[in-house]
């Protein structure tokens, strides 16, 4: 069942990319494995998934030593500074950077044998109380600060659209994140190639608006959030 679901998701990714005049290869599928057992994760990896995403450091620590080393590991949930040491050892990419302090903490605890850690700034465009992420006006100052931190590479931006009645309700948020990225690039000359946006309910719209990373759990694993 998981294999069939994965193939359906891939077909939808390809179709959305082609509608937008994009090469489907430019979109990376991050399979969200929160709450998913090792056997089902292993099945999607055997099916060709190369990127997996976890929301919590503790859950990732319980799984990652049982997964193939060639899989790219993404932290997509909020990261507290006091968990940076463990996160730096577990993950290849962190999508949820919301301050220079956490970026510096990750760099400080990067294992000696690690080349670097890829980071994305999480941007909250919803204004919903309790949402993590920086405000739009804080993106460029934070980006400028992070690029000066040794040991990390700032690759782009991430956002989560608010709940909506249809995928189209997410489109303005994704378009806005792309516009922010483009504006930061123009004003600061920072290359931010990646946009992490879109989950099970709206990933096709996200791809049409420029997503390079889509975080999909439920559509692949049925019971997994995302």
CA–CA gap between residue 1 and residue 169 (Å, rounded)? 30
For 174-195, give one letter per residue: b (16+ CB within 10 A) or e: bebbbebbeebeeeeebebebb
144-186: pLDDT as tens digits: 999 999 999 999 999 999 999 999 999 999 999 999 999 999 9
10-65: pLDDT as tens digits: 999 999 999 999 999 999 999 999 999 999 999 999 999 999 999 999 999 999 98
Match 């489109």 to its residue by tokens. Answer: 171
Does residue 1 register a pLDDT over 70?
Answer: no
Query: Is the CB of residue 119 less than 8 Å from the CB of residue 92?
Result: no
Does residue 223 register a pLDDT over 60?
Answer: no
Instruction: Name the β-bridge partners of 134.
Output: 123
Average pLDDT rounded to a whole number, residues 134-153: 96
What pLDDT does 114 receive?
A: 80
What pLDDT does 225 receive?
A: 47
188-199: pLDDT as tens digits: 999 999 999 999
What pLDDT does 222 receive?
A: 81
Domains of the chain: 2-221 (3.20.20.10)
What pLDDT does 70 receive?
A: 86
* pTM for this predicted structure: 0.95
77-108: pLDDT as tens digits: 999 999 999 999 999 999 999 999 999 999 99
């Amino acid at each position: 069942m998981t294999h069939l679901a994965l193939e359906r998701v891939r077909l939808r990714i390809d179709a959305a990319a082609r509608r937008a005049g994009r090469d489907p290869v430019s979109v990376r599928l991050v399979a969200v494995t929160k709450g998913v057992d090792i056997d089902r994760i292993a099945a999607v990896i055997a099916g060709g998934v190369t990127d997996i995403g976890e929301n919590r450091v503790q859950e990732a620590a319980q799984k990652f030593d049982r997964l193939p080393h060639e899989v790219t590991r993404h932290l997509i949930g909020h990261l507290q500074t006091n968990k940076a040491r463990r996160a730096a050892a577990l993950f290849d990419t962190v999508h949820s950077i919301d301050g220079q302090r956490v970026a510096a903490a990750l760099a400080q605890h990067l294992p000696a044998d690690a080349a670097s850690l890829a980071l994305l700034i999480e941007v909250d465009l919803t204004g919903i109380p309790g949402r993590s992420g920086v405000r739009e006006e804080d993106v460029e100052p934070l980006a400028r600060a992070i690029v000066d931190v040794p040991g990390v590479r700032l690759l782009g931006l991430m956002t989560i659209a608010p709940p909506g009645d249809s995928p189209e309700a997410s489109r303005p948020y994704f378009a806005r994140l792309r516009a922010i990225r483009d504006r930061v690039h123009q004003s600061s000359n920072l290359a931010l190639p990646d946009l992490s946006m879109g989950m099970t309910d709206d990933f096709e719209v996200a791809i049409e608006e420029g997503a390079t990373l889509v975080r999909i759990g439920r559509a692949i694993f049925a019971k997994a959030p995302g």
